[in-house]
Structures are given as C-alpha cells and as structure tokens.
Structure 1
Amino acid sequence: MQRVEASHQLPLSRRLRPLAYALVAVVGLILALTWVALQTQVTLAGFLNGESLWSKAQKQAVIDLDEYATHGRPADLAGFRRNYGVLMADRWARDAIASGDFVHAEVYDAFARGGVIPEAIPGMVFIFQYFSGMPYVREAVTEWRSVDGSLGDLADTADRLDRAYAAGAPPASMIDAERAHIAALNTYMEPRAKAFSLDIANGASWIGRVLFFTVFGVAALASLLWLRMAGRIVATIRGTEERYSLLFDSAADAIFMVDEESGRILDANRRAASWLGCSRAELTGIQLSSLFVEGSDHAGNGVLRNADGTTRPVETQSSLVAWGSRQVCQAIVRDISDRVAMEQERKIAAEALASIAEGVIIADADRRVTTANAAHAKLTGISLQALRRTRFDATRTLPDGRPLPASLWEDIASGDNWLGEVESQRADGSTYPELLSISTIRDGEGRPQHYVAVVSDITARKADRQRLQHMATHDPLTGLVTRAEFERRCAEAITRAAHERGAIAVLFVDLDAFKVVNDSYSHATGDALLMRVAERIRAQLTPEDIAGRIGGDEFTVLLADLRSREEALVVAEAMLAALARPFDLGDYELFVSASIGIAGYPLDGNDAVTLIANADAAMYVAKTEERNALRFYTPKMHADARRRLKLASELRQALTRHEFHVVYQPSVEMKSGRIVAVEALIRWRHPERGNVGPDEFIPLAESLGLIRQIDQWVLETACEQLRLWDAARLPPLRLAVNVSAGSFGHPDFLAGVSQAVLTSGIAPKRLLVELTESAILRLGEDTERAMLALHKLGVGVAIDDFGTGYSSLAYLKLPAVAYLKIDRSFITGLPTNSNDVAITEAMVAIARSLELHTIAEGIETEAQHDFLLRAGCQEGQGFLYSRPLPPDEIERLLAPNSRTGGATRLSLVPPGRA
C-alpha cells in the first residue's frame, strides 16, 4: 500500500490567509484615515489659533495706536509695532504660499512668529497651497486680504504720530484727527475680522464633517469588501467540500475509509452502499474484510457480496492517508465484471477463430505469422509451428506469378483494406486460386501493428465465374459469341493481321423470310431453327474462325489468317448451300435461305465496327437484289446505306415540317361507274429529292417506329377532308385508310380512330380500315379483340392484298371484316391468264359466300373491267378510272357541273364507260 501524508488544517489555513491579510489591510486603512483626520484637526486647530491671535493682534494694534495718539507713550507705540509685526508675518507667509515660489522654512518661521502652533503649520501650508479654493477657506482668505490696505494705513498713522511726538507735543486738532482716522479704520476692519473668524470656524466645522463621512464611508466600503471576500473564500471552501462529497458519492467505484488499526469502516460512499444494499450509517463500524467472500483477497482481486446474495468480481486498491494523528486507509473497490466478461469474450473469440471455416492468419508489423487457425492449416497443409515467424506473403503470388507488389502494402499502410485474388501454395507444392483479404490493426499512433489476413479457396467459385463469363460472352440460344465479344475478337484479329501483313474477312449472314416462320408457326419453332442454323454455320468453319449471333436471325462470321478477302468466297458459298438445305424440325420440314455480305480488312475497314457495318451493307444489297445470294462490300453500298440513314433522319422531321400530303384514289361501282369511295394515300414531297415513293419511306417508317404517328396523321387528315366534302354538298363517299400492323396493334389505335371520327363528325360506317394479311397475322391472339372493338365502333375492315398472305382464312369470319381487296398481281393477267382467272373467280366466290364486298385493285384495261363485272366483283380501282388525285381534283371530278347544277355522275375513260 502507498503511504500518503495529508493534513486538512494546512489547506484551510492557506485558504483563510488572504482573508486575514485583507482584514489587516482594512484595519490599517482605517487607522491611516484616522491619523489623517487627526492631522486635519490639528491643522484646523492651528487655523483657529492663528485666527484668534491675528484678531487679537489686530484689535490690540488699534488700541495701542489709539493710546499712543492720545498719550504719546512709547510703550503703546512698541505694543502697536509688536502686534503689527504679527499681522505682517502672517500676511507675508500667506502671500508667499499664494505665489507658489517660497521657502518652506521661511514660511514656517513666519507662521511661528505669528503665534501659530508648530504642529499645525505643515497642514496650514498644505491647505493654503493646494486647497485655497476650498469652501470657507476661499472666503476667509478674501476677508483677510480685504484689510491689507487698512493695516497699511495704521502703519502710516503710527509713523506720522511718531514723528509728531518726536518734534514736540502735537496740536490737539491733529491728535483728534488721527484718532478719528484710527477709529474709521477700525470700523472697517472689525466686521471683516469677525467675518474672517466666522469663516475659519465654519470651515473647521465643514472639514470635520467631511472627514467624518469620508472615514466612515471608506471604513464601510473596506468592511464590505472584506466581508465579500470572506464570503467568497467561505463559498470556495464549501464548494470544495461539496465537490469532494459529490466526487466521493458519485464515483463509479465503491470507496471505503477504514481505520488502519482496527480495520473498521469509518465512512463509505453511495456506490458501496448501493452494491451492499444498506445505508452508509449501517456500514460504519463493521470490518471491511467481512464484506468479501471468504477466501477472496480484499487487498487485491476478490469477490464482493451483493445485496441480493450474488457476487461480483472486484479489484481493490488501497492507500494510507493521515487525518491529523489518525492513520486512515482509503480502499477503492472497482467492479471488474466487464473485464472478466471481455476475457471470456476474448476466449470465445479465440475459439471462434479456431473454428471459422475460412483460413485466418495474424501477422506482426513485419508480416511474420504469429498465429493461424485450424482452417488455414487444413486448407494449405502447413501447420502453425511451420508457419510461425515466416512471412505469410512468401507462399502467395499474384495470379500471373509475380510477387505481391510493394504498392499493395503501401495502400494497406495508408489505411485501405485489400481484397484480391492470389495464387497460394500448399505444403505439397501445389497451388490453388485463393481470395485474400488483408486488414490492419493499428497502434495509438496509427501505425500498422498487426495484419489480419482472411483466405478462402475459390477454385469452385472461379470455375463458376468462368461459366458466367462464357454466358456473358455467348448467346444462350445458339452458343455463338455475342456482338460485344465478336467485336473484341475481331479487333484482336485485325491487330494480328496488321502485324503479320495478312487479311481477315467478316461475313454478315441474315436469314430470308425468317419472320414468316415465327408468324406462321411459333417462336419455339423459330428458336429451334436458329439453333440448327448456328450448327450449320459452325460446321463450315475451322477452329480458328469465330461465329456470332448479334440479334434475331442475324449472324456474323470472322475468318482470320487470310491472304485476301476473296478467300472468304469459298466459305460463303458453302454456307449458302448448307443453309439452303431443308431443316428437319420434327413436326415440320422448313426451307429457308440466307443473304450474306462480306467485308475484309484492310480493304473495307480498319476496325471491327466498320467491318461489321460494311458487311451488313453488303448483306442488305444481296437481300434487296436477289436473296439467297452473297455480295462483297463496295463503297457504293455504304453510300446507299448513308442515304438510307439520312432519309431516316429526314423522315423524323417530315411531319413537323408538313412535308406529307394525302391524295385520294377513287373506287367505282363496277355496274354503274359511279364513284362510291376514295382511298387515302400518303405522299412525301421532299424539299430536295422531290416526291419520295411510299415503297421507299413506309418500310423505313415502320423500322423507326414512326408509322403509328404517320397513320394517325393520315386518318385525321382524311376524316377532316371528308367532312369538308360533306360541307361542300358532294355526294357521300366511303373513306378507306391504310393501317400498318404496328398501328393496328398499338393500345391507342382504337382511341385514335374514335377520336378522329368524333372530331370530324362523320358517320363511323363511312370509314373503312384497310389491313394486309401479314398485319393481321402479326397481331396473333389480339386480332379478334381489335376486330370486335372496331365492329362495335361501327367501322368496317377491308383485307388488303388478299391472296398474298400465308395464313388460314379464319379471320374472314370476324365481324368487322366487310371487304376483300383482290391484289393487283392477280388482276394483271386477266382475262388471258388461266391461273389468274381461276384464282380471281375463287376469291369472288369466297367473298360472295361469306357476304363480303369485293374490290379489285390495279384495273387498267376494259377487258379486265368486263371480266371482273361478269365474275361478280362489286367495285374496282385502277388507272382505267383514275389515278390518285389531290382533294380539289376529287371535288371537281365529283361535281363537274356544280356551277350549273348538273348531275354528279363520273364520266369514265374511254367514253364508252360514261
């Protein structure tokens, strides 16, 4: 135990010492003020004494001079001279002080000659020098100075009398005159002398009061300050005691004050009482050792009994202090339950570290292993004894075999954790891929003290990653590489060919009419066909060649290590032949063909993207010109592709620039030749290219997703034109509007039709929606729903290009279908081509049996007209009757005699058709 000597009186005396000093200062100040007051009173006494002597001297001088004038006795003149000397001595001292330039000894001597008591002289000099303007002193000095002239006259009178008596007996008249003069001077001086005396007395009284209140005030203020200081010191002592008591009672540890000799408790804090479940008074007088569990040490680590019978582990620290003559032991008992729990947790953590599935290594600041768990030994086959004191990075390298770089340790030292893949070595020398995570434990200054490495075998995970990487770079359906992977490998092949001065070729393969397979069968059938196509493409390639699927039915092939791109011709022709053979898909045997475009490095491009784009352009030409063919890329193809791209860009702006307009082609009744309907046809008047045909921009609009906006614009424009014709009182017409599959299948199509009819105010039955068979096929299951909706709306549907599709005739039974339009390809050969005749008659017969209205397209001759009339076709369209016309031409055609009120029948060409 540590012995500490302490005294409680010494600190208290030190704290009270300033209070004693302050008391001494107050008493000293009061004594000093009292002394000043006494000195002032002495000075005032001197003033009064001097005033009394001065007044007496003045009065006696007047009496002596009057006696001398009456009797001429020398004794009387001597008495006057003596009293006058007293007055002149005081006067000289007064004036010397007022001048400010005087000798103190001479002034003191002058006042002494005037009869002033010596103790009062310094005070009088001080007052005359510094406080001559003080109340009453100022008035007294003024009264004093007012008789200076009269005193001088007295001296002159004495001199005259002295000369007169020296010359003999002066005449009685002179004596009388001089006495009268002396009496007059006395009459002037006597009241001023009295006023002087009164002012001196009043001044003494005033100064006495001032001194009293000054001394009283200063004494009171000094006493107040002392009391305030005493209060602060007492408050400080009380605050110290309260803080000590507060610290004693609020301490987190139990504190016992124990008598050293008896071992009994003298005092204890609240914490001790709360732990033991009793009051502090109950603890006083009992043995401290009785509070601990028997056998435990109350002077070190022990076990303390709680109030509820439980125990708590504690640590006791004791020290001796001297309280006067008594030796007291201060025992501080600290609860170490948390520490014991932390030790237990540390033990559990160590066991958990030993049982964790991942390998864990703990190394010192030099990366030398201090401990490792059992999982690491099982993973690597290296025991802890063999591993200890070795650098744990000595058996690990980067995946490429390089040692772990110094920059890695610099990053870890700067505060970052590191996670990465390494190659780790087992005890038998074999290696395995390992995921290594390194973190640091730092000391108080932030420097790495230990490294903690967590390792796990990622052999299986890496294999899974490779499978995922293969899935990310290969098409899941066909197993061919994706577009991104194809471009990467193509770029590598270009780099290799550039280094070896060789060539490569890219083939762009697109199936012809693959969409028909999807529409006619199912997507599952289409997927099966794509897989078989991929197999046949791979069969034509060498292991060094790459095949990829970049979307839909589009494939790419990379042929590397060529001398020129023309060497790709053999592979492309073999591929065309292989793809032309029938595909046996179980329930179906399908025939497809392909179009192939070829572009090569270095002739057709220096990068993968350019080669693929140029091969695509060549494929587009092959598909457009012939199908089941191949083409090598030429710069002209790219120019055509750029032209299509530019046209696409201009098409996006055509609607906003109002470059579209609508023309109308009449449809006539075959029997009468009367115009009964018009078909709205869109035209594009390009500001630079002139008129662009629908066959060129309509497919482009469909591919760009603009066809729905164009169809809606045509529908609204045509309905508005029909309203204008009705307002012009033209014969009522039926309006036919072509609708693409994309528009017909859009959710907002029916709402658009309804809005156009409602806005224009035309009857719904006068509107006819024309759909091609392929458009109906693309809708699939939604076809019937859309048809029923149109039927409820009152709008009819016409099947356009009837006979050119690939589906069954089931859709003809839908309620909205009211018209069949026979395609112009069957009309051209009439009436001479027997096949066209048979097909046309069959179509008319089907329509008649289903009660559908038939319309023939592309009628250009009278023979075609006559045949269709005999076959029972109700309506016809074609150049025989009229070409598509603008709205004003249609108006003139329907009302040629409108100004004269003539008939509204159309006169046909030739005239026989009038």
Structure 2
Amino acid sequence: MPLAYALVAVVGLVLALTWGALQIQVTLAGFLNGESLWSKAQKQAVIDLDTYASHGRPDDLASFRRNYAVVMADREARDAIASGRFSHAAVEDAFARGGVIPEAIPGMVFIFEYFDGMPFVREAVTEWRSVDGSIAELRQIADRLEGTYARDTPSREQVDAERARIGALSAYIEPRAKAFSLYIANGASWLGRVLFVMVLGVAALASLLWLRMATRILAGIRGTEERYRLLFDSAADAIFMVDNASGRILDANRRAATWIGCSRHELAGIQLSSLFAEGSAHTGVGTLRGADGSLRPVETQSSLVAWGSRQVSQAIVRDISDRVVMERERKIAAEALASIAEGVIIADADRRVTTTNDAHAKLTGIAPHELRRTRLDATRTLPDGRPLPASLWEAVAAGNNWQGEVESRRADGTTYPELMSISAIRDADGRPQHYVAVVTDITARKADRQRLQHLATHDPLTGLATRAEFERLCAEAITRAAHTRGAAAVLFVDLDAFKVINDSYSHAIGDALLIRVAERIRGQLSPNDVAGRIGGDEFTVLLGELRSREEALLVAEALLAALARPFSLDDYELYVSASIGIAGYPLDGNDPVTLIANADAAMYVAKTEERNALRFYTPKMHADARRRLKLASELRQALTRNEFQLLYQPSVEMRTGRIVAVEALVRWRHPERGSVPPDEFIPIAESLGLIRQIDQWVMETACAQMVLWDQMRLPPLRMAVNVSAGTFAHPDFLPGISQALVQAGVPANRLLVELTESAILRLGEDTERAMQSLHKLGVGVAIDDFGTGYSSLAYLKLPAVAYLKIDRSFIAGLPSNGNDVAITEAMLAIARSLELHTIAEGIETEAQHEFLLRAGCQEAQGYLYSRPLPPDEIERLLAPRASQSGKRLSLVPPRRA
C-alpha cells in the first residue's frame, strides 16, 4: 500500500506539472494568434487607407477603420496592464475584440502583468510600442482624407502626397512588425524548452524516491515468499492461484508449468479457462491443453483463499488419463450403435431382437423395447411377400454376408422398400452368437430411378413417349400382332402452320399449345394405345390389336376433329389443324422405323394436297418423297448453273387497257425435267435456306432488265418483285434492295415489293421498322393475297404500303358469286378510304373485267390480258409496230384472249 500511495503521488505531481505546461502553451498560442491577427490587421489597414486615398470609396475607409480597431484593441489592453491599474474584464474584452482566443486571454494578462521582462517578451513589447506613433498617424491621415473627400475631390498632388506618407509609415511599421513576430515565436520556443526540462526533472526525482521506497519494502517480503514457494512447487498435482474477480492466473507451481509446457512466469496473467479445451476450469472434469497442442484429461477442485486483502481461487488439477481411457472404451460400442445413420438391429443366436438404434426407430416408428425378444424377420418379407428363406440364414451361419431388398412394415402397418445387409458375430467356437442387420430406406432411391426411367422414355414438355420409346412399344405391338395374325397402325400427326403461331405469339404460347394438343390426342385414345412426340410439332400414335389398318380411320378422323376445335390459351383463342398420315402392319411395313417413315410420307402428301386431312400410305408416296429429295439436291446447284429465268406478267390499267407494270416471276429450267413450277421448288428452297439467294438474284435480274428496256427506249414500267417471308425477315433484306437499285441505277419508285400477309406476320414487331426503311428508300410495297391468311387491317396503315392485291380466289367467282362480290367490293372500299392502289389478279373473263372496272379497281393481271412472258415477248407486246429503222416504241394494251 505505501508503494501504491507513493506511485499515485508521483503520477499526480507529473499530471499537475503537465497541466501547468499546457496552460502556458495555450497562452503562447494566444500570443501567436494575437500577433498574427495584429500583423494582418495593421497590414490590411495600410492597404485599405492607401486604396481609399486613391479612390475615395467609403467601403475602403470602413474596412480601414475595422482593421484599425483591431490594432487599437490589442494596444488598449497592453497599455492598461502596463499602467498597473486596470479592470480584468475590460482588458479581457479588449483582447477578445483583438481576436485573441478566449482560453489564452487570462495567461496573456498574467504574463504582461508579472513577466513582461521575460526574455524575448521584453524585446517584443519594445518593438510593439515603437510603432504606436506611426499607427496613430495613419488614423490622422484617414480623418484628413475623409474630410477632404467630404468637401470635394482632392487634387492629384494631394492624393500623391498622402499616399507617399502612407507608404513611408508602412515601410517603418513592417520591419518592426516582423521583429515583433520573430521575438514572440522565439519566446514560445524558449519557454517550451524550459517547461520540458522542469517537468522532466521533477518526474525523474519523484521516480527515484519511489524506487528507493520499493526496494526496502520488497526486501522484507522476499523471505516469506521463498518458504511458500518450496511447499507450492513440491505438490504432485498442478496448482493454479487465480484471481477470483478476473479469472487470470496469478501464480502456478512447477507441475502446472510442466504439464502446460511453458515457464511459470509465462502462465502469469493468462485466463485459466483458456488452458482448458473443454470442461470447467474451476470444478469438475475437463481437458487441459498443452503448449504443443496435446490434451490431458483432468479433474479440477477449487477453493477460495485469502491472499492479503485479495480473494484468490486455488485450483488443484489432477490427471485422470487412465480413468478416462477406461470409461471411453465402455462407451464406444453404445455410441457407435446410436450414431449410425442406417438402422441397426442386433439379434441373439435364435434371431430374437436384443437391441436397435435410434435410426431404426425413426425408420419404422417402432420403439426398441417393443421389438425386444421378437424375431428379426417378423416385420420383413421379400419384395414379393414371401418370408425370408431359410437358405439366407444358412448362408449367414456359414460365414457369408447376405444383402438384398426386402419389404419392411412400419408401426402404422404401411410398408416401404428396404435394403438389408445381415452378418453374424461368432463365439470362440465359430458358432453364431449374434446377428447384426443394417437396413436402409430406399424409397427415394427407387422413386428417383423410376423418374429417371420416365424422363428417358418420355418427352419432358408433353409427357408423351419419345421416339426411342415409341419405336420400342411399336416393336412390341408388331410382335403381338404377328402372333395373333392381327394388325397395328402408326399415325403421324403434324400441326398445320404451327411455326406461324409460334413466331407470332411467343415460344411460351407455342409450348402451351403443344401441351394442350398432347392432351387432346391422349383424350381420343384407348388405354392400350400409345401417343408420342418425335419432333417440334410432330406427334405419333400407335394403335395396336387391330384387325386391319382401316380401323385406324375412325381414330384419325376423331383426332382431326379434336384438333380443329379452338384452343384457349391465356387471352388468346388459337385455331390449328393437323395433317395425318397412316401406315399399318403388315401391309405398309414390318418394323417400327419403316412404319413411322411411311406414315410420315403419307402425312406430307396430306399437308401438300389439302391440309386438315388424312392419307393412307401408298408406295407411290415414297417415290414422290425420293423425287423431292433429289430435287432439293439439284436446287442447291441451280443458282451456280444459271438455271433460273424470269418471266414477266403485264399489269394493265383497267380504264385504258395500257400496260403500266410487269410482275417478275421466277422459273426453274431444269436440264432434264424441263420447267419446274414455283409451287414445287419454292417450298423446298425455303426449307433449305436457299430462298434468300434466289430472291436476291430475282431482285438484281429484274432491276437489270429494267435498265435494258430503258436503253431500248421502251416506256418506263413499274417492276413488281415477290419477296418470301424468309427473305423479308432477314437482316440483309433492306441492304440487298438498296444495293440492287444502286448497281442498276434504277429509280426506287419504279420498284414494287410484293409481300404476303404471312411474310409480314413472320417479321412480328420489326414490321413497322422495316416498312419505314422501305419508305425512306422510296420503294413501294404491295400486300399480296390479301384476305387469304391472318388478315390484319393494321398492315394497311404501314408507311410503305401503297398497293393492295386482291387474290384470285375472290376474283374466280365474280360476278355471279354473291360472297365474292361482297368481299371484293369491301376490299376496294377499304383501299379507297386508305388511298391505296388496287390490283386484281387472276382475271380470265370479260365479265370479271367489266365488274372490277365498274367497282373502281385500278389495275388488273390475268390470262385475259397476257400470260407470263419472256423479256423479248414483253418488248414485242409493248411495241408491236416497231420497225428496224429505230422508230420510237409506244406503249399499247395487249390483245385479250
């Protein structure tokens, strides 16, 4: 306690000296701060007075007086203190007006009052007083200038004289102000050194006195400590003296240091609890951790003892390694059994249950005590319901392990599949003493296996059989039909125009439609029939146990009717149809691959000839399919071999009968087959992706033909070019048109692009952008076959649309068919209201011509005027009286048939 009190006194003395030094430093900081403000104020006052002398602005005079007031406030405080009779409040107020920080003001008053003769302070005050007269003269000059400017503007000579005097005063004040600043800074530095030496000296003296006192006190207690240490270190157990409040080790004996693996002084100050890996550090069993990471099981007993005035816990730690090893060995068997995730059953030599673990109880819901003394196989059978055979137990008794699937019964009577493994524990004579069975619930595993098998054999979208599974089931149906001398049939179902729906709405709507189609197909089948999906919108149906393939006709017709009904999907009502091909065993094939291929060929014929129809397979269909394949192969080389040609069908003005335009129509001149019609090779070109190259060739050839006719001085005609849906939707479509026009040098307004409604529909949201681009090019657009597809009047408002072509299917019934008359007149009325140019195609009779002329149609095409002709025939048609002398050609109407 004396040492503690002495230490407190030393610390208090040092803190008091430090506080005093801080207060002096604050005063010096106030000196420096005040000096800085005084110097700045007097400099700014000179500047403001000089500026006022030059210009006479009141603002400059006001600024001078503010800065002069700061200078005078510091001077007023200084002179008041020097007089010896002053008011502390007045002086502090003057320093505050001078900008001195408030904390430093009392110290400054103290120094000016009692230590104005201190080194550097004396010199600084002398320099300060030396400029008092000059600063006072600055005010006199200000007052004089103020009076002069108040009466009149002073002369230049007066201003120069005053400014010269101000400059002289500034020159006198400035070096003294700098000397004042230097003395103040040096004084602060000197005083800081003095303070540091004083604090250091006092602290050193106080520390020496405290150390001398400590030496005498510690010598007295050393003898007592040595006696205590002898007893402390001789103990067989580890002993820790622990501060009861903080839990930190105060001392430890040699045994404790040896167990921990460090010296005793390294243990001091450590939390006793940090030495224990587990368990309590005070009472009970725990594990003591060594410095090398080794663990020692120990038992701790603690008691409180008085160590001087401190409450200390004496912890005696005893090594119990041997006892722990024995207890651990007794627990291993029980803990191992309880910790196994699989169910474990232990039975005696009579196969009666003695023990089960918790995992088995969770699996079966049967508590261990309920199974005790029951037979191991009482709640288990083979998967087919038979009891476990005797041969199983004989094999296990012979030394083999048995593993297999069994059916296990739960407490509630339900059963589940279980994987069971049985082995035997033998006595010294090799006889089975216990049976150990390990069981695992394989319900999820079997369900996963079945789900994977289903995914491997069924379409993930529709749930129908995949191609491989369908072919497997078809092979089984063929085998059954062969044994019963019956028949089987395969229906190949393909949706009509599914791609248009998929592209027009979204792929999500398309997928939803396929799911609904699959549901309707399943709804028309019997339980023994099979439906499959082998492509995007291609489905197959297997009908077994038939007497002949013709029995499949009823199912096929039911499927057509079911798929023709509208589908309601979200906010849409969609209409689709299907084309179905039928092939049967044994007439049309003896294996699944052949039947599917032949049904596919029959479906293709149904789609090509009619759609929404069905066809039975005939051998001729395969010949047609082979012909199409060969044609596709030859079509790839047709462009490079220059086998295409253009024919031009005139378009006449109905009122005058003059030819005003021609439509370019592509033909394929096959070297062996002759002329191949477009409806035969165009679909193949679209499926092969060649249609874009063909359309580009047509565009360039047609533009080049216009140039040739212009060079022959034929009247300028409008050239109409058909563009397919694939070309119109391609990114290179617009650049291709622009390139063809530029290369040929043909005005854009003479080119007309004919698009079907399906082509516009395929482009979707980009339609308006494409039409805008065509409009900017100056190329007109004609809607071909209007009214025959997915009609939308919104297309007619697109920017580039200038022509409306009325399809021949509406013209054929004119003027006798009332429906065709109404539709045609409605189209003409729409075109007039939208200011669209109308063109009727397929006119073959004078009656049709007269009706359309009266109805207001502007142009017409058809065999009544002319068939599609080669370029030279068009030239003769336009100038039938052209002579070899080079007379100018004239535009004339064609002769009607």
TM-score, with normalisation over the residues of structure 2? 0.52
Letter in 2 for 1:457: D
1:719, 1:674 → 2: CA distance? 22
TM-superposed deviation, 1:425: 5.2
Q: Within 5 Å, give how 1:183-198 maps onto structure 2.
A: none
Letter in 2 for 1:605: G
SS in 1 for 2:588: coil
- CA offset digits 1:701-724 (Å, max 9, x no partner): 233333233223322333344344
SS in 1 for 2:773: helix
More deviation, 768-777/827-836: 827-836
Given the alignment, which residue of 748, 751, 754 partners 1:767? 751
Letter in 2 for 1:875: E
Matching residue of 2:191: none
Count of residues paired in the alignment: 593
Matching residue of 1:807: 791
- CA offset digits 1:269-294 (Å, max 9, x no partner): xxx9x96679xxxxxxxxxxxxxxxx
State yes or no: 1:745 paired with 2:729.
Answer: yes
State yes or no: 1:634 paired with 2:597.
Answer: no
Given the alignment, which residue of 864, 871, 886 partners 1:901? 886
SS in 2 for 1:548: strand
State yes or no: 1:678 paired with 2:649.
Answer: no
2:674, 2:421 → 1: CA distance? 70
2:487 touches 2:584 (CA, 8 Å); kept in 1?
yes
1:505 touches 1:559 (CA, 8 Å); kept in 2?
yes
Given the alignment, which residue of 443, 468, 471 partners 1:487? 471
State yes or no: 1:619 paired with 2:603.
Answer: yes
Given the alignment, which residue of 828, 837, 855 partners 2:839? 855
Residue 350 to residue 835, structure 1, CA distance change in 2 (3 Å): same
Letter in 2 for 1:620: Y
1:845, 1:811 → 2: CA distance? 16
State yes or no: 1:827 paired with 2:811.
Answer: yes
Letter in 1 for 2:887: G
1:401 touches 1:423 (CA, 8 Å); kept in 2?
no
TM-superposed deviation, 1:469: 4.7
Matching residue of 1:18: none
Given the alignment, which residue of 680, 693, 696 partners 1:696? 680
1:712 touches 1:752 (CA, 8 Å); kept in 2?
yes
1:727, 1:708 → 2: CA distance? 29
Matching residue of 1:375: 359
Matching residue of 2:238: none
Residue 592 to residue 793, structure 1, CA distance change in 2 (3 Å): closer
TM-superposed deviation, 1:572: 3.8
SS in 2 for 1:781: helix
Residue 304 to residue 699, structure 1, CA distance change in 2 (3 Å): closer
- CA offset digits 1:425-482 (Å, max 9, x no partner): 57999974457999xxxxxxxxxxxxx9997533145335545654564456655434
Matching residue of 1:408: none
TM-superposed deviation, 1:635: 1.2
Letter in 2 for 1:785: R
TM-superposed deviation, 1:798: 0.5
SS in 2 for 1:801: strand
1:809, 1:771 → 2: CA distance? 15
Given the alignment, which residue of 749, 769, 773 partners 1:789? 773
TM-superposed deviation, 1:554: 4.2
State yes or no: 1:687 paired with 2:671.
Answer: yes
- CA offset digits 1:729-780 (Å, max 9, x no partner): 5443322211122222233322333333344343333222111123223333
Matching residue of 1:883: 867
Given the alignment, which residue of 537, 546, 549 partners 1:562? 546
TM-superposed deviation, 1:814: 1.1
1:796 touches 1:817 (CA, 8 Å); kept in 2?
yes
1:900, 1:545 → 2: CA distance? 80
2:635 touches 2:685 (CA, 8 Å); kept in 1?
yes
Residue 397 to residue 708, structure 1, CA distance change in 2 (3 Å): farther
1:826 touches 1:839 (CA, 8 Å); kept in 2?
yes
State yes or no: 1:666 paired with 2:650.
Answer: yes
Letter in 2 for 1:901: G
More deviation, 653-662/815-824: 653-662
Q: Within 5 Å, give how 1:327-726 maps onto structure 2.
A: 354-355=338-339, 357=341, 374-375=358-359, 378-379=362-363, 423=406, 432-433=416-417, 456-463=440-447, 466-467=450-451, 469-470=453-454, 473-475=457-459, 479-510=463-494, 534=518, 537-551=521-535, 554-576=538-560, 594-625=578-609, 629-726=613-710
1:801 touches 1:821 (CA, 8 Å); kept in 2?
yes
1:761, 1:884 → 2: CA distance? 25
2:883, 2:345 → 1: CA distance? 104
Residue 571 to residue 861, structure 1, CA distance change in 2 (3 Å): closer
TM-superposed deviation, 1:812: 0.8
1:678, 1:863 → 2: CA distance? 23
TM-superposed deviation, 1:692: 0.9
2:333, 2:711 → 1: CA distance? 94
1:506 touches 1:598 (CA, 8 Å); kept in 2?
yes
Q: Within 5 Å, give how 1:229-240 maps onto structure 2.
A: none
TM-superposed deviation, 1:543: 1.7
When Rg is computed on C-alpha atoms for both structures, the one with the higher figure is 1
1:277 touches 1:306 (CA, 8 Å); kept in 2?
no
Instruction: Provide the identity percentage.
Output: 79
2:532, 2:382 → 1: CA distance? 36
SS in 1 for 2:803: strand
- CA offset digits 1:571-619 (Å, max 9, x no partner): 4455556666787889998877654332111221122222122122223
Unaligned runs of 5+ in 1: 1-271, 279-302, 315-336, 363-368, 404-419, 439-451
1:738, 1:704 → 2: CA distance? 19
SS in 1 for 2:669: strand
TM-superposed deviation, 1:898: 7.5
1:480 touches 1:549 (CA, 8 Å); kept in 2?
yes
1:681, 1:345 → 2: CA distance? 98
SS in 2 for 1:855: strand
Q: Superposition RMSD on alpha carbons, in Å?
A: 6.3
TM-superposed deviation, 1:807: 2.0
SS in 1 for 2:772: helix
Unaligned runs of 5+ in 2: 1-257, 265-286, 298-320, 347-352, 389-402, 423-435
TM-superposed deviation, 1:397: 8.7
- CA offset digits 1:776-828 (Å, max 9, x no partner): 23333332222122222322110112232342312111111011112223334
1:399 touches 1:433 (CA, 8 Å); kept in 2?
no
SS in 2 for 1:780: helix
SS in 2 for 1:613: helix
Letter in 1 for 2:885: T
- CA offset digits 1:881-906 (Å, max 9, x no partner): 43323344445555663753323223
1:615, 1:588 → 2: CA distance? 32
TM-superposed deviation, 1:490: 1.3
2:444, 2:588 → 1: CA distance? 44
TM-superposed deviation, 1:499: 3.9
2:408 touches 2:418 (CA, 8 Å); kept in 1?
no
1:382 touches 1:426 (CA, 8 Å); kept in 2?
no
SS in 2 for 1:807: coil
1:673 touches 1:906 (CA, 8 Å); kept in 2?
no
1:520 touches 1:806 (CA, 8 Å); kept in 2?
no
More deviation, 584-593/828-837: 584-593
Letter in 1 for 2:544: A
1:455, 1:719 → 2: CA distance? 84
1:789, 1:350 → 2: CA distance? 84
1:598 touches 1:632 (CA, 8 Å); kept in 2?
yes
More deviation, 491-500/813-822: 491-500
- CA offset digits 1:666-690 (Å, max 9, x no partner): 3333445544332221111222222
1:360, 1:899 → 2: CA distance? 113
Residue 809 to residue 582, structure 1, CA distance change in 2 (3 Å): closer
1:345, 1:802 → 2: CA distance? 93
2:659 touches 2:894 (CA, 8 Å); kept in 1?
no
